[in-house]
Amino acid sequence: MSEDKEMVSKRIEEFLSCLLISVGALLASFSVVCILIPNDAIDYGTAGIAIILSKLTHWNLSACVAGVFLPFIIAGFLILGKRFGVKALLGSAVYTVGIAVFEQIPFELNTEHFLAVVFGGAILGAGLSLILKNGGCIDGSEIFANIVVKKISDKTGKNFSMTYLLIGFNACVYAAVFLLINRNAALMSLLVYVVATSIINHFTDHYEAIKQVTIITKDPDKLVKAIKEELNKTCTIMNSYGAIAGENKTLICYVNYFELPKMKEIIAKNKGTFSTVSTIDEILR
């Protein structure tokens, strides 16, 4: 009976997660189509590449978004796993459909460009925060950075932040805007990036940074084995003592933001644990 309740609870949780990803994708597409593009600004990441492509070729924007996103989503499926791939596909599909719908809806924000771009960037950041908080992703740059970090981590055994990869990717996007569109669009788009990422970092606690998971348990062997098999990560194990629980073990493991849902699943399967997650700016070796 308890297993049935747990199954129902998981399904409800997954449904709410997918619903919030969809809401976030609609907010992001509304911001891009109805506020940012009319005010000479664009989104960042692969969405920015799609907008540049649409502006230069006059192709349909939603078709450009779908075409640019698709290779990254397929790569996410193959390398980062089915669970991640499904949520990335859901977010990207809703975002693309939202763009197609909002392009047909007349909307005008009667204010100066600067205020409109700040407001649009805030809405974009709120939408992307909802997506990231629920294990989704609609931007190929995040998938690309995640794959590169995972490959390096698997080969070296070291953990790396996605920060510099994302900054480099978006620097190339804004350089393209500056060279191919115009200077004002590049500056306005950079403002969008600053506002949106500030909102995202506030609600996701710097999703691009490394996360330290600390687990206190009396039976570490199953956890260590599952973490190694399912995440290809190792743990540091220390002896610890609780005032009430007595002797136990403390495990410390480093993962990235997109690996956290899988880590939470592993921990949930092992009852009698106490866990915390913290953000790590840098690891010195």
Output the pLDDT for position 101: 94
User: Does one domain contain both 193 and 262?
Assistant: no
Report how far residue 95's alpha carbon sits from residue 77's, in angstroms, rounded to the nearest whole number.
Answer: 18
Q: What is the pTM of this model?
A: 0.85
Which residues does residue 268 pair with via DSSP β-bridges, in sequence order? none
User: Does one domain contain both 188 and 49?
Assistant: yes
Percent of all residues in the chain with a pLDDT value above 90, rounded to a whole number:
34
In which domain, by residue range, is 68 found?
2-204
Q: Which of 204, 239, 254 is the last residue of a domain?
A: 204
Which residues does residue 234 pair with via DSSP β-bridges, in sequence order? none
Predicted confidence (pLDDT) per residue in 240-274, tens digit: 888 777 889 999 999 888 888 889 888 988 878 88
Q: Which of 171, 204, 237 is the last residue of a domain?
A: 204
Residue 221 lies inside a defined structural domain of this protein: yes
The yes-or-no verdict on residue 122 having pLDDT over 90 is yes
User: Does one domain contain both 267 and 215?
Assistant: yes
Residue 285 lies inside a defined structural domain of this protein: no
The yes-or-no verdict on residue 184 having pLDDT over 90 is no
User: Does one domain contain both 8 and 76?
Assistant: yes
Q: Tokens at residue 282, please?
A: 């840098």
Residue 19 lies inside a defined structural domain of this protein: yes
User: Does one domain contain both 169 and 57?
Assistant: yes
Question: Which residues have CB under 8 Å from 180's CB, separation 6+?
Answer: 52, 56
Domain count, the chain: 2
The yes-or-no verdict on residue 82 having pLDDT over 90 is no
The yes-or-no verdict on residue 1 having pLDDT over 60 is no
The Cβ of residue 164 has, within 10 Å, a number of other Cβ atoms equal to 11
Report how far residue 98's alpha carbon sits from residue 35's, in angstroms, rounded to the nearest whole number.
Answer: 14
The yes-or-no verdict on residue 171 having pLDDT over 80 is yes
Which residues does residue 211 pair with via DSSP β-bridges, in sequence order? 255, 279
Q: Which of 204, 229, 258 is the last residue of a domain?
A: 204
**pLDDT (mean) for 88-92:** 90
Predicted confidence (pLDDT) per residue in 198-250, tens digit: 999 888 888 888 899 999 998 888 899 999 888 888 898 999 888 777 889 99
> E-assigned strands of 199-273?
210-217, 236-242, 246-255
Which residues does residue 255 pair with via DSSP β-bridges, in sequence order? 211
Apex 81 CA angle, 173 and 159, nearest 5: 65
Q: Which residue would you say has higher pLDDT here, 257 or 35? A: 35
